[in-house]
Amino acid sequence: MRELRSDLQMNNWQEKLNHIRSHKLFDAFIIIVIIASALLVGVKTYSVPDWVVQLVDVLDLLITVIFVVEISVRFLGEGRKRDFFKSGWNWFDSIIVMVSLIPIEDSDMVLVARLIRVFRVLRMISIIPELRILLNSLIQALPRLGYVAALIFIIFYIYAAVGTLLFETINPELWGNIAVAMLTLFRVMTFEDWTDVMYETMEVYPFSWAFYLSFIFLTTFAFLNMVIGIVVNVLEEEQAKADTDNPERSSLRNLHDEIQEVRALVERIESRIAESSGAIKDDNKNRKVNESD
């Protein structure tokens, strides 16, 4: 009987902790604490009175305690404790919190501990699902972006070789060799006083503007749109995957779409009613005019 009661009490505590960690207010409170932690790091970069430094240290200790309690609640609220460590984000949060417990004063790892306190703001990614989806999308897009980067490098190399052959005698500092020419082209691509470079070569080659404009079109406009398209495509795939893994999220999205469709249908009906009422009024006016005649 005692063992049964203890098991029931453990299950009750676990259900309570699971309810707490799943509550939106709990996540909102942790987000506020993370933002406060980031602000405290910023305060330490200014010259402030000693009492402010002491207050910041006390608040930093309080934030560390809150993070420890939060990780404990998330771990104890897990039904199977092994599942807690299956998530990489839980590992990330646990490491950040544990390293934050390292004492800063009189320690050889002062710099590391302070850097970890700076990186605590990254916990926003593990708390907010949308940020996780965005980060996962960027990571998933890296292999595809690698091919785009390789193509950009080829374009850079070709234009740098042509620029070195044509413009080396005009300005050796900008076109002396292919490496320097690639740096010059990077300056052109980022629009950093690129017109000065172009006008200098146009004094010798009047049609050299075509060289720069074609390069800008290929690298800045075309490839930039390719990168954006790849990232957006992967982001949509990750969003669809997240909706599949979370049925509640998917049902809410479908409900939102249905509400938008109903709203559009109601607006169309209202516009038709307004048009028909206007036509009826015009008919009535015409009848009255005819009767008076």
Q: What is the DSSP string of 78-128?
A: -SSHHHHTT-HHHHHHHHHHHHHTS--TT-TTHHHHHHHHHHGGGHHHHH-
Cα 263 off chain centre by: 31
Domain locations in the chain as residue ranges: 2-127, 131-245
Amino acid identity, residue 181? A
DSSP state of 1: -
Which range, 192-196, 228-232, 253-257, 285-289, has the best average confidence (pLDDT)?
192-196
Cα 114 off chain centre by: 24
CATH topology for the 2-127 domain: Four Helix Bundle (Hemerythrin (Met), subunit A) (1.20.120)
User: pLDDT, tens digit, for every residue of 76-123?
Assistant: 877 777 777 777 778 888 887 887 776 655 555 566 666 667 777 777
Q: Tell me if the pTM is above 0.85.
A: no
Q: Which of 98, 89, 93, 80 is nearest to 18 (CA)?
A: 80
CATH topology for the 131-245 domain: Helix Hairpins (1.10.287)
User: pLDDT, tens digit, for every residue of 247-282?
Assistant: 555 445 555 566 777 777 777 777 777 666 655 555
Please report the pLDDT score of residue 157 as a whole number: 93
Give the CA diameter of the chain.
Answer: 105
Please report the pLDDT score of residue 257 as a whole number: 63
Q: What is the DSSP string of 173-215?
A: HHHSSHHHHHHHHHHHHTTSSHHHHHHHHHTT-GGGHHHHHHH
Phi, psi of 191 (to 5 degrees): 60, 30
